[in-house]
Amino acid sequence: MNASGGARDRARWLRGEIEAHNRAYYELDAPTVSDAAFDALFRELRELEAAHPGLMTPDSPTQRVGGKPLEQFAPVAHAVPMLSIQTETEHDASGAQHFDARVRRELSLADDLADVAYAAELKFDGLAVSLRFEHGLFTQGATRGDGVTGEDVTQNLKTIRDIPLRLAGMPPPLLEVRGEVYMCRDALAHYNEKARARGEKPLVNPRNGAAGSIRQLDPSIAASRPLRFFAYGIGAVEGWSLPATHSELLDALAAFGLPVCAHRIVARGWRELADFHDLIGKERPRIPFDIDGVVYKVDSLALQNSLGFRSREPRWAVAHKYPAEEARTVVMAIDVQVGRTGALTPVAKLQPVFVGGVTVSNATLHNEEEVRRKDVRVGDTVIVRRAGDVIPEVVATVAELRPMKSAEGDFLDRVPCHPPFELPVTCPQCGSHVVREEGGIVARCSGGLVCPAQARGALLHFASRRAMDIEGLGDKLVDQLIASGQVKTPADLYALTSSMLASLERMGEKSAENLIHSIKKSCDTSLARFIFALGIRNVGESTAKELARCFGSLSALQNASAAALEEIPDVGPVVAKSIVDFFAETHNREEIARLVEAGVRWEEHEGVASAATGRFAGKTFVLTGTLPSLKREDAKELIEAAGGKVSGSVSKKTSYVIAGEEAGSKLDRARELGIAILDEAGLLQLLRGDDS
């Protein structure tokens, strides 16, 4: 379909507006419009491009995410190698002095000549990448790899909004930009909080998070991570008369629309370099992203060329790192903390020690396997590390300082005073059994409904819309109910009265009555909703529905063996073990009994047979894109009512893919596998029983 001039102009204007707002938000940290207004612009552009495919351009903001998952990364040979730089071993001012002395010696500069000008900048702790721009358009991105050959990660780098899809101004025909992908610490913490709430594994630290995200084969994963980018140099260039200095080069990159870190100066001589190193060292805790030092570069590009390279390192640059933030102390005890998802974490209680700018008295030991690997025991002298705002951790034990005693009956044979650490078999918070998934290293409390450490998450999940649907029971109210002691477990909700709620902050009489009404209303539910509300690990909404259909009653599910559970579609060994472990815990069964006594009820049936009936029995559907009249949930309910199953991913077991507008990679995958593709009309026709 040909687009009118008005549509073309509108699309061009929308692309410019969206990129301007993106730059204001991500580079300048100064949003110019609300999220809703930005979303409206983006939605209009996407609809315009869908109606007029000829308007879509490679640099359109809508093209940042949408590539299908790759089988593997293709190799990329760097036109100009991405070399490492030498690290200065001295952490004090002498590090800057030694570098300056080497540069002056290589350039044959007499002591009485003027100081050398240096560009001083931060040494980012992330993942080095190279971006290739052809006539201003971002065409390829690659990892550093071994410096000579990297991996093509273009799809993932396109998801980073810091990286322009088209350069501003008058860029050269070819420009390779070198830089670092990183994460801010607060953004990582926010991401991890949401990941834990979804039951997903959190990212370990900003550096691992950045590197791991860029090496994901599915670009949608990278798009979900809070990745940022800084440019700090160039590789291959064609058709551009370079500036005279490195600092001017960075200014030029910034003018092209590339993000360049503001923490940089031009220093004269080693003393100003040392002052910069000292200043950044003091500011380091307040810098929002991780660094492990600063980098010094001879500012003049002509002098850089004259100095050249030594082996695989430039003579004109050096990394001046900061000392590791470590100290020695003694382990007084090893406690076990229970997290919001039930994960048990051993924590070393330390003799207080000053490290990383603060006094530390606790340090994480991560998990039982890590404690055993490092063999940390009570009484041990250990090395503790704390970098920036990272949680202190025990790095290693000092074996020769371990307290020993004479073995019984033998004064010559000496043994450690304290035994190896063992994780408790019951939860220290609620006494429920501790379980561990096969092959997993994280141990968890199985008392999800009754464990105080998991109370907040359990209550919010129980009350959520897809579970018991208790309207009005949000985060703040749950926090107040737990803090007041009125609610400890889901069954306590059904004992609440309006007068009990009235004492809570911002809880008027009308609000209290509405909440009580919503709680009473939730008593009439379905077995599938109730199973989902229990918060059994690895059991999502779809699996809960399948379990309800196949077993028919809660009693049958509670008493099902792992083997019987694995007969259910999409229930493998891990999910089966989670279900068995949950119902094996007496506390959970008692809590379910309390809920039933409180009036929670649902209809039950014979089970199994209903799972095999219906027109769509044994069929698996995948929904993708936006349907003309049916909401996705409505389509899902129609399919499930006919005995079918709705899955979130396309596989060889998929029977049909129902595709609407803006269908993405799922549609491509269906075509690759030769799976039948229907639109909304085709689905409705199938539901009516017309297969023709």
User: Is residue 68 among the annotated active site residues?
Assistant: no
Q: Strand 86-88: give its sheet, edge to edge.
A: 86-88, 317-321, 291-298, 117-124, 264-268
Asked if residues 349 and 382 have their Cβ atoms less than 8 Å apart, the reply is no
Give the pair of three-digit tokens for residue 662.
């803006």
Q: Is the dihedral of CA 285, 206, 21, 38 positive or negative?
A: negative
Helix intervals (H) in 69-125 = 94-106
CA angle at residue 287 from 281 to 291, to 5 degrees?
65
Give the Cα separation of 206 and 288 in Å (integer): 11
- 188-199 in b/e burial notation, b at 16+ Cβ within 10 A? beebbeeebeee
Q: Give the start-end residues of each E strand in 368-476.
A: 381-385, 393-397, 404-407, 410-416, 434-436, 443-445
Asked if residues 504 and 480 have their Cβ atoms less than 8 Å apart, the reply is yes
Helix intervals (H) in 598-631 = none
Residues 6+ away with beta carbon under 8 Å from 313: 83, 84, 85, 86
Helix intervals (H) in 198-245 = 206-214, 219-224
Residue in this structure with the two tokens 């891990």, named with its chain if needed: 574
SS3 state at 376: coil
Asked if residues 494 and 519 have their Cβ atoms less than 8 Å apart, the reply is yes
CA distances from 427 to 48, 338, 366, 430, 576 (A): 56, 8, 16, 6, 21
Under the phi-then-psi rule, with left for phi > 0, alpha for psi from -120 to 50, and beta for the rest, what region is 630?
beta
DSSP string, 134-191: ETTEEEEEEE-TTSSEEEB-HHHHHT-TTS-SB-SS---SEEEEEEEEE-BHHHHHHH
Give the Cα separation of 534 and 449 in Å (integer): 7
Asked if residues 333 and 315 have their Cβ atoms less than 8 Å apart, the reply is no
Give the Cα separation of 643 and 615 in Å (integer): 6
Residue in this structure with the two tokens 């499930």, named with its chain if needed: 640
| Type of residue at 253 | L
Give the pair of three-digit tokens for residue 313.
């390192």
- 539-569 in b/e burial notation, b at 16+ Cβ within 10 A? beebbbbbbbbbbbbbebbbebeeebbeebe
Of all helices (H) and strands (E), which one includes residue 327? strand 326-338
Asked if residues 270 and 280 have their Cβ atoms less than 8 Å apart, the reply is no
Q: Which of 123, 321, 645, 666 is catalytic?
A: 123
Q: Which residues are catalytic?
A: 123
